[in-house]
Each structure stands twice: as C-alpha cells, then as structure tokens.
Amino acid sequence: MKKFDGLNYYEILKIPMTSSYFEIKRAYKDALSLYNEDSIVTYSLFSNEERDKIIEDIKNAFSTLTDDQRRAAYDRMLVDSGQVETSIPSREKQDSSSPLSSTHASVNENHLYSRVKDKLLTKDVKALSDEILLKERLSGDDLKKLRNAVGVKITEIQYITKISASVLKAIEENRFEELPPDTYLRSFLRSYAKVLQINPQKIIDGYLKTISLSKKTNDSDPK
Amino acid sequence: MAEIYPIGGGKGGVGKSFITASLGVLLAKWGKKVVLIDLDLGAPNLHTLLGMKSPKIGLNSFLNKTVKNLESAAVPTMIPNLFLISSFHCYMEIANLFYAQKLKIIDAIKKLPFDYILLDLGPGTNFNTLDFFLTSKKGILICTPEPTSIENSFRFIKTVYFRKLKQMMKKNTFDSVFKDPSSDLNGSRINPPDIIETVLKYDPGKEAFLRNTLSEFKFKLIFNQFRNNVDATLGAQFENICNRHFYSIFQFLGNISYDSRIHDAIFSKILYIHKYPHTQSAADLKKIATQMMSKIPSASFAKDML
C-alpha cells in the first residue's frame, strides 16, 4: 500500500500549485474527513500509526500552504530540487503580470483617499452615492458604478485592501457562487466600502440581501 | 477480441450474480454477443437469476469432454444474444477444482468467440476465485456501501496482489527470501497489506517490474444496494483512496440504487432488468453497462490517471 511518501504538499491535498487560499482550505477539509478514523472508506485501511502520520502530513501541508512566506519558500524548494518544472510559479507570474505589483506599487493611499473625498463632494457623485445608499438591496453593478464615479481602479482597491482582483471582480459582477463564505465576504465588503468612503454597514447589508434573494429564487426555480 | 470482465469482491450476498445477469442482459439487448460464466463453483445460481431451470449442458460438459470446446457448452437464454455457461451440473466437489482443470478453463475462456464475457465469481478469496479474477486485467469489484463490505474489498485487492505476486514469482526469479513471502512477514497471513512493500524493501531491483505489472490492472468498482441515506460521494472517495494507496488504476462505475423489487424478482425467478426497465436501479445498471461499452474512460477516470 502506498502512503504519502514522495508526495509534495500539493499532491497530498490533490490541488494544483496555483490554488487559492479557499481551494486549499476546502481540499484540507476534504482530506481530513476522508482520512479520519470514522471514515467508512478508510477506517480499515490504515493502522493507527499510519493514520496519525497521514493526518500529520495533511496538517503540515495545510499550515505551510496557507502561510504566504512558508509557501513561497516551499515552492522555491520544489523548483530548486527539481520536483516540479520551473514554470510552476504561475501563481506568482499571475501576480507580477497584473499591473498591480509593478506599476501600482506606488499607489499612495493618502493621495487616493483625498482624491476620493474630493470626488464625493462633487454634485453628480454625491447624488449617485446618496441614491445607492438609499437602496435596500445593492448589486455588484451599484458598487462598480460608484467605484467608477469616484475614479478608483480595481487594482488600487486590490493594492490597499490586499483582496485579490478576481474576488473583487466576482463581487462587482454578481458571480455569487465564486464568492468566499459570508464572514470573509463581509470583511471584504467593509474594506471595499472604506476605500470608497461610504457607509460600510449599508454596503454589507445591501449586498448580502441581494445574495440571499438570488439564492431563494434559485431554490424555488422549478428546474 | 472479447472483453472479459470478472465480477467479484470479497463478500457474499452483495449482488455479484444479480449484477452479472443484469449487465449481461443489457449488453445483449444492445446487440452484443454475450456469455455469462457461472464460476461460483459449488454454489452456482446464475441460471436461476436468468429464469432457467437446470441447464443440461455447461462447464461439466466441457470438463468431461462431452462437448468439443467451451463454446459448445454455452446455452442460449431467453434473451437473444445472451448465453450462459453454467456450473449447475458439475460434480459435487467441483469447488475444489484441480489445478490443471482450472488452467484449462481459463485458457478456454480467453479463446471464446464472444463480444463480452462476464465471469460470475464466488465470494471470498480462495485460489479459484482469485485465479479466475486474474483472467483479465479489468476485474469488477462489487460491494455495498457498508464498512464491512468496503473492508473486504480492500482485503480482496490485497489478496489479488498477493496471488499475482506468487504467480509472477513462479515465472521470474525473485530474491530467495521471497520464494515464500508469507514466511518472512509477521502475521502476514492474517494481515496481507504490506507484502508489496516487503518485496520492495528486500528486493528493490524488482520494484519497477512489480509496479509495472500491478499498474496494468484497471479495476472497476460498483456500489450495490445503495440507499438514499448514504453519502453520495462515497464512490468517488473509494475510487480516490484506491488510486492513491494501491498500485493499480481504479474506476468507480457507479451506484446501483436499492430496490426491494429486486428481491421480489429473484424470489419469483424473474429477470428484474427485463421486468422493470424504467426503475432507478435499472437506470443505474444501464449507466454502468454504457461505461463498460465505451472505450473512452470517464472524466473522473482520466483525471486520476494524471
């Protein structure tokens, strides 16, 4: 019987090297439930020592891959030791190819905040933000409209809030199924609202209402 | 070339014969020429599942040479294109088949001129069952989604490996320590799991050879008597674990839903798949038969081969 010998952390969790935090977390939960001692699939396959070793490997994989610094060092080690092709750090490549790290490394937060403040004082933008804040439900389109009105780029929000551009886009494009669990989403929306200097609670409540409504309609969909 | 599918799995009563008969009927209805061979020697009942009383001709006719070859021992069933080689009339001690007879049967099976040959094996892990299972590289393991049944499937796989290893050792020179691998392992007779590792440890030169041989097996898994309250992802988990921790390729073919009418059909000697072609269980069986016919591996299969 093969164990985890010779498998790297990504292989242990069965995920690609480009996986995001959420993918790693999901894979970790799946692996734990598959190898726990109550799993009817594996309970008879391993001795207690073997199982303990396997669970330990899974936990090490998770703790390493969810720590950015340790993950980077681990990736480097995999490349340097020839265990993976040098082309792997597509995750890093993604980051560096996005305009964020190179051109926007110099986003000046203070400058951005004062710029947004000025914009919000102009008549048109004020009218728009008031109109949006009055709504009971807020969609990604509302957020995007407001962001464009105050002249902030997605990459700037990404730089300040450290929320990945793909999540920000998913929020604005109402791709609810791609969004993280509510707890994270709330904090993302709060950060987003802070950059735009509008009432975070209104944004969170309005957006979550839209999501729950869309879930309800999907559930009641006869298909 | 005929596709040979041995159908086995550790436990008795999990539905091996029922599935063999049902898959045979489906494949035959789709125009394939199919023969079912009842190799549950000593406890044959495939004929009953097919609604036949007691086929006069069968494996016995082949062994005592009243028919000229194994093909002539196949009798037609009520389904066109579907044939049965029964072991109903075999002598009482057939379960303890002579080695030479066994080889003769296996050799003849491989030469049968059919599209599909399904072997209905007995429960347990005796040598006959294992050797018939090793007739082809794509044995199907049937189990129910219960801990005991899954446990026995693992044991069955390990025992198949062990048997294969012994066969190979006859043909190839292994380190003398392993002329009798079981002797060296503490309690390996009760607990066969680490036979491969032990061989690898003491005779590492054979590792590639051994791994290659075992990696040629493409086992298939089926969960039978699947009830609604069972975790639907169990099959995927089972496939995943086998692919990870054993040395061959495993493909989960699907769940077959539990249906009490299956029992009723067996009681009244009616072919369930024929009588109830539109039930969930029949749909499940059709899905599995379709996969057996398609040469393209399913998506999950391809994924795990990477």
- Provide, as residue numbers in chain A, all residues whose Cβ is less than 8 Å from the Cβ of B194: 1
- pLDDT above 50: residue A103: no
**Chain A nearest CA to B202, separation (Å):** 16
**Chain B nearest CA to A59, separation (Å):** 18
* Nearest CB to A43 within list B147, B197, B240: B147
CA distances from A75 to A4, A10, A26, A59, B2 (A): 18, 10, 20, 17, 48
Closest chain B residue to A11 measured between Cα atoms?
B244
Contact of A116 with A156, CB cutoff 8 Å: no
Q: What is the mean pLDDT of residues B40-49?
A: 88
Please, what is the average pLDDT of chain B?
A: 85
Contact of A109 with A160, CB cutoff 8 Å: yes
Q: Do B240 and A44 touch (CB under 8 A)?
A: no
* Nearest CB to A2 within list B237, B238, B247: B247
Q: Do A34 and B241 touch (CB under 8 A)?
A: yes
The string of pLDDT tens digits covering residues A138-187 is: 999 999 999 998 888 888 888 888 888 888 999 999 988 888 888 889 98
**Which of the four pLDDT bands, split at 50, 70 and 90, describes residue A5?**
confident
CA distances from B145 to A27, B99, B150, B261 (A): 23, 35, 7, 19
A44 touches chain B (CB under 8 A): yes
Chain A with chain B: Cβ pairs closer than 8 A: 37
- Provide, as residue numbers in chain A, all residues whose Cβ is less than 8 Å from the Cβ of B146: 40
B196 touches chain A (CB under 8 A): yes
**Which of the four pLDDT bands, split at 50, 70 and 90, describes residue A96?**
very low
**Chain A nearest CA to B248, separation (Å):** 11
- pLDDT above 70: residue B240: yes
- Provide, as residue numbers in chain B, all residues whose Cβ is less than 8 Å from the Cβ of A5: none
A2 touches chain B (CB under 8 A): yes
Write the CB contacts of B277 (distance below 8 Å, at least 6 apart in sequence).
Answer: none
3-state secondary structure of B91: coil
B249 touches chain A (CB under 8 A): no
Domains within chain A, CATH numbers bracketed: 9-97 (1.10.287.110), 102-220 (1.10.260.40)
**Chain B nearest CA to A42, separation (Å):** 8
Handedness of CA A4, A5, A11, A13 (dihedral sign): positive
Which residue carries 């009244």 as its tokens? B268
B230 touches chain A (CB under 8 A): no
- Please tell me the pTM assigned to this model: 0.68
- pLDDT above 90: residue B223: yes
The yes/no answer to whether this complex scores an ipTM above 0.90 is no
Nearest to B306 by CA among B244, B231, B217: B244
Where do the domains of chain B lie? 3-148+218-305
CATH 3.40.50.300 is right for the domain spanning B3-148+218-305:
yes
